[in-house]
Amino acid sequence: MAITQFDSESIKQSITGKLQRYNGITVAEATPQQLYKAVASTVRDQIMQKWMVFRERWINEKGKRVYYLSVEFLTGRALNCNLLNLCSQENYQKALRELNIDLQDILVEEPEPALGNGGLGRLAACFLDSLASLSIPAMGCTIRYEYGLFRQKMVDGQQVELPDSWLQNGNAWEIAAVEDTCQVQFGGRIEEREENGRMVFHLEDAYTIDAVPYDMPVIGYDNQCVNTLRTWSARSRERIDLRSFGEGEYIKAMEEMQMAEVISKVLYPEDKHYEGKMLRLKQHYFFTSATLQNALKTFKRQYGNHLELLPDKVVFHINDTHPGLAIPEMMRLLIDQEGLDWETAQRITYRCMAYTNHTVMAEALERWPVEMMRQTLPRIFMILEELNRRVCESLFQSYPDQWDRIGRMAIIAYGQVHMANLCVALSFSVNGVSQLHGKILTDTIFHDYWLLDRKKFSAITNGITHRRWLLESNPALTSLIRDAIGDGFYKDAQQLERLKPLAEDGAFRDRFDQVKRSNKERLRKLIHQRQNIDFDINFIFDVQAKRLHEYKRQLLNALHIQVLYNRLVDDPGFSMPPRLFLFGAKAAPGYWRAKLIIRYINALSTLIEKHPRARQMLKVVYLENYDVSTAEVLMPAAEISQQLSTAGKEASGTGNMKFMMNGAVTLGTMDGANVEIYEQVGAENIYIFGMRADTVESMYREGIYNPMSIYETNFEIRKAMNQWLDGTVFPSEPLAMQDLYHMLLQGDHGGMADPYFVLKDFGSYSMANRRIVEDYQDRQKWLRMAVINTAMSGYFSSDRTIREYNEKIWHIDPIL
Ligand code: 26Q
């Protein structure tokens, strides 16, 4: 079936028509928000048919599909992305111009769905874009949070959290699929009975909640594919409410309704910090159960009861352990609902499940108290116990009498359900997200499992969609590249490598420079408009943008800025190329030390502004409310990309890739994907500093690290840290920085001092910074490096990542 491609004339007509029919107004009368809605709705019209056709083809061709389960999808705005992928950008631009409207003014009207915290959620969104662009049938599955990640405001240099009510004006892209509404049960007790010679389990007195799916289209680039992002919303069941209403318990019924609906109310703002909150457990089970019920229903519609075919037709990808309850839930459905025996159910389940790990940090590993699991999900807990019994029994065959080892590997041990062990034991595939991370997984937390079945483990380096992170966010660079090497890189990011020889072309470098300057100007305008701060675009734009975490070491960056400040103040002969340090980061609301680091950065900014000489060469700007849309303006403007995590801690990082693609040079440790950026660009085009992961590991093991001796011998560090407490940094609150001071020098409650080696790596970081400013002064040298970085970034397209997942794990035939 041919898909209609709108020309600018029919686009204009449909926009004016929408405004007339829905709002009864003309284009001239419409507010930007009304215009956005009208435009989005015309784009949606174009998508609907394609969406239907693709779904039908998938059904007819009886192909396989991946369900990508993730508690987060940080998609960012959709309108521009959809226009790009439909190849309608130009037509829309033209149509709108003719209506006297600037497309840019419309795009910013779209509320950004902030359904994620950071890397893990953004990765899921990049994966959806690549899956569709590679025509791989896929459904992303998550929760339809009514409130996404909080909006961040700075008040007196401190982070304040505001609610993100992104659905307030409706969501132009979603469609409720009420016909797929299903029920998810919580609590209750299990009744065991024998029926027809078989033990069956009934859940009695459970609390039932409706799961209502809302679908959003995910469009492939210049192809026929439209996949789906399905978000599940919790709704109380009307039946229950009616009974209570009848008994005159109106208020109680309303309360129950609220209790049910709280499940999809809000995204938890903690990232990489596990806390055993019951509501979170309910969230995880809620969307996992709904997804699996729905997948099974869809499967049975196509293949009837041939459940042995399931692993050939569906694969469930478990994005970190959060959707790991998919495993016992699949067992439950196959046994309790479909009547399979345990062994068959377990064999099928195993062959359907693939798991990606995103962290090795102990505090982020998901573990649930046994009692909470038993009470909240009694049948699931029973199944987990039986799975655990069988797993331990088989471990005992391999590791007889090694109880410690078996305890570490068990699904249930020491009163907790260990989600990572569940996922490793019962998935056919386990992968890390960079080569280094994959190696650390099999060397450490999953070592014992790896010894038993090495083939199961792999490392697949993360990627980013170059469509959003280059084509969409950096049109100036895109058009420069297109002029130089053609537009083959739109579909095949590896072709960016053809830019490499152009690093030696002076005229090309000049144009590259012009592009960077225009992007710096665009960022300057945005920050001026949003925060009423101004700066000179001739400063070096040096950026660290990512969640605020101690292991990411924003503190190292800040401490170094303070040292630079002191050099400027203390030595009138010292000068440096003017440098703007930009920070963008949200801190988890309860992570008070991270919030203190935010205050510190803002205090530095104030301190520098007060000094007439320092502020000529140094500026610090804290970007409020860093989100996907901000990143899209920030990345293209960056010249230095700071990636400072303590080696071994950052599983991959993906911001590092976005910066690189936009021509920023990395200043970073040998951690996560930085290692692979280093391999791509070569030692001359990156600034590496700090301890390597193995050294960090042995420092932990040996326990010999003594940051106090560094403080004592390094005058610059000592001076800066003393200024934390003498009123220099916080004139009105000299004790504010005490916690950080003690953390670095003494450690708190029995923990080691400076656990992320800020002081240890400071010297090496400072030296790398000296090399940077020296090289930056040779403009041509710097531009050469920048071009090489863009040229070698094709490897980090998530298209490559998804191809690897498909070749190694999913084995899905694309529908072309
Ligand atoms: C789990 C249970 C309870 C409470 C919180 C959590 C939780 C929530 C979010 C645990 C972890 C996260 C997020 C993790 C994350 O974003 N990890 C990042 O994933 C990226 C994509 O693979 C990597 O590039 C980053 O290195 C990694 O830190």
Sign of the dihedral defined by the CA atoms of residues 461, 489, 222, 41, in that order: positive
pTM, two decimals, is 0.97
Q: What is the 3-state secondary structure (H, E, C) of 46-111?
A: HHHHHHHHHHHHHHHCCCCEEEEECCCECCCCCHHHHHHHCCCHHHHHHHHHHCCCCHHHHHCCCC
Beta-bridge partner residues of 458 = 431
| pLDDT of amino acid 452 | 98
Is 528 a catalytic site residue?
no
Q: Cα dist. 119→656, 731, 786, 793 in Å?
A: 11, 36, 24, 18
| pLDDT of amino acid 246 | 66
CA gap 611, 471 in Å, rounded = 41
Nearest CA to ligand 1 atom 19: 120
In 353-471, alpha helices (H): 370-376, 378-398, 403-409, 419-426, 435-443, 447-452, 466
CA gap 25, 8 in Å, rounded = 21
| pLDDT of amino acid 5 | 64
* Shortest-distance atom of ligand 1 to CA 270: 5
* Shortest-distance atom of ligand 1 to CA 72: 9
* Shortest-distance atom of ligand 1 to CA 277: 3
| pLDDT of amino acid 3 | 46
CA gap 146, 538 in Å, rounded = 42
Q: How many CB atoms lie within 10 A of CB 590?
A: 11
Q: Which of 71, 359, 419 to mutate to test the pocket of ligand 1 (most atoms within 8 A of CB)?
A: 359
| pLDDT of amino acid 244 | 62
> Catalytic pick from 18, 322, 553, 658?
658
| pLDDT of amino acid 492 | 98
CA of 90 to the centre of ligand 1 (A): 37
Q: How many CB atoms lie within 10 A of CB 276?
A: 13
Low-confidence ranges of the chain (pLDDT < 50): 1-3
Nearest to 213 by CA among 170, 256, 171, 181: 181
Q: Cα dist. 601→596, 657, 741, 765 in Å?
A: 9, 25, 15, 18
Sign of the dihedral defined by the CA atoms of residues 308, 309, 311, 314, in that order: negative
Helix, strand and coil content of the chain, in percent to the nearest 5, comes to 55, 15, 30
CA of 119 to the centre of ligand 1 (A): 7
**Is there a contact between 43 and 102 (Cβ–Cβ < 8 Å)?**
no
| pLDDT of amino acid 259 | 79
CA gap 514, 510 in Å, rounded = 6
| pLDDT of amino acid 269 | 96
Residue type for position 183:
Q
Is 516 a catalytic site residue?
no
CA of 612 to the centre of ligand 1 (A): 42
Pairing between β-strand 640-643 and β-strand 189-195 as defined by DSSP bridges:
unpaired
Pairing between β-strand 665-668 and β-strand 640-643 as defined by DSSP bridges:
parallel
CA of 271 to the centre of ligand 1 (A): 6
Residue type for position 574:
F
Nearest to 615 by CA among 623, 626, 606, 624: 606
Is the C-beta atom of 283 inside 6 A of ligand 1?
A: no
| pLDDT of amino acid 54 | 98
> Catalytic pick from 65, 552, 586, 649?
552
CA 293 to chain centre: 26
**For the segment 503-539, what is each residue's pLDDT rounded down to a tens digit?**
999 999 999 999 999 999 999 999 999 999 999 999 9
Nearest CA to ligand 1 atom 5: 274
| pLDDT of amino acid 2 | 40
> Catalytic pick from 358, 367, 437, 456?
358
